[in-house]
Amino acid sequence: MTQEELKALTVDKSVDARGTSCPGPLLAAKKAIGQIEKGQIMEVLSADEGTKRDIPKWCTKKGYEYLGTVEESGYFKIYLRK
């Protein structure tokens, strides 16, 4: 998805893990994914650089669709579809 498409997404669940270091954001995503239905969209906010690689790989392993990452000031938003 393009940056514009990502920014225009309506998310069903937002997880703010900016206060945690690895593996905090990944574990926050794991906990939250159980709260949405298949097909719904979740965003994960993180300031931990490793999360940019962790979430896409985790999506591949767990069968979720990684949609993309948007850079913000001092953090980033990662989008995925369950």
Partner 1 sequence: MANKKLCLALFSGSVDKLTAAGVILGGAAAEDMDVEIFVLLQAAFAFKKENALTNERVAEITDKKDEFLASLKRLEAPHWTEAFKTAKEMTNVKIHICGFAGKVWNGYKIDDFIDLADDIVGIGEYMTAAEEADINLFI
Among 1, 3, 21, 22, the one annotated catalytic: 22
Q: How far is the CB of 20 from partner 1 (least distance, A)?
A: 7
Give the span between the Cα atoms of 56 and 21, in whole angstroms.
Answer: 17
The SS3 of residue 6 is: helix
59 is catalytic: no
Residues within window 10-69 making contact with partner 1, judged by CB under 8 A:
19-24, 26-27, 29-31, 54, 58, 61-62
- Name the burial class of residue 66, with classes exposed (0-12), middle (13-18) and buried (19+) by CB atoms within 10 angstroms of its CB: middle
> Residue numbers of the site for partner 1 (CB under 8 A)?
19-24, 26-27, 29-31, 54, 58, 61-62
